[in-house]
Amino acid sequence: AQKVTQAQTEISVVEKEDVTLDCVYETRDTTYYLFWYKQPPSGELVFLIRRNSFDEQNEISGRYSWNFQKSTSSFNFTITASQVVDSAVYFCALSEGAGGTSYGKLTFGQGTILTVHP
Amino acid sequence: ETGVTQSPTHLIKTRGQQVTLRCSSQSGHNTVSWYQQALGQGPQFIFQYYREEENGRGNFPPRFSGLQFPNYSSELNVNALELDDSALYLCASSLAVGGIRLGEQFFGPGTRLTVL
């Protein structure tokens, strides 16, 4: 069975601080995809990134970066120089299957509430 | 390009009633997945529709059912509503070819259902 754990329920930082959101996953599949989504107060889930299980290269996109470590089953997300607009709930998710297939079911973690204060 | 839309935005029902939620997939997408998100929780997969048939189901009872139409839009029906059905219901669309999902799932804004 798949499981995603986001141990940090809430994080509060001051603007311009760096913040790392942790994600640990469990799966028996050798092929899987990992995702991060952002959920602002409006409720819509906004896709941020997808990584497949064969690509452990870290990725940077502007102020966002992701650290995927298969050895520890972790896929952590760092926001550099946080801004008030980054305040949201962030979800890590897992999808099993080659090419994100089977039926593409996403298993989500519980989410981390990030509050960035001015 | 039109994104995923859902209706209604909010809904209030009483226990025992039935409800239908609607979702229009993003342009070019042929697969729709439904998720239930209780307050303070992550979304839980309900089921997915591909080619107008259910193509995978999560741990939800049969009173949760759905439909997909030829234009790929979808409905989620919940019978005999219970208080615990109060949640945000999210619809996500994606593109699949030969049963293989390509690309990402894009989510709609959700329908907030309150059961009294």
Closest Cβ opposite residue A109 in set B42, B55, B92: B42
Query: Average pLDDT, whole number, for chain B?
Result: 92
Q: Is A106 on the interface with B (CB under 8 A)?
A: yes
**Which two tokens mark B111?**
């329908």
CA distance linking residue B89 with residue B68, whole number of Å: 16
Annotate A40-64 with DSSP letters as a single string: -TT---EEEEEEETT----EEETTE
CA distance linking residue A15 with residue A116, whole number of Å: 6
Q: Is A71 on the interface with B (CB under 8 A)?
A: no
Question: Average pLDDT of A3-14?
Answer: 96
- Residue range A16-74, pLDDT digits in tens: 999 999 999 999 888 888 999 999 988 889 999 888 888 877 888 899 999 999 999 99
- Residue range B66-100, pLDDT digits in tens: 999 999 999 999 999 999 999 999 999 988 776 66
- Residue range A57-69, pLDDT digits in tens: 788 889 999 999 9
For B32, the 3-state DSSP assignment is strand
Question: Average pLDDT of A77-85?
Answer: 96
- Per-residue confidence (pLDDT) for residue A100, from 0 to 100: 45
- The residue with tokens 């859902």 is B6
**Which two tokens mark B103?**
């690309």
C-alpha B37 chain-centroid distance: 11
Single out the residue of B62, B37, B98 nearest to residue A93, CA to CA: B37
**Cβ atoms of B27 and B59 closer than 8 Å:** no
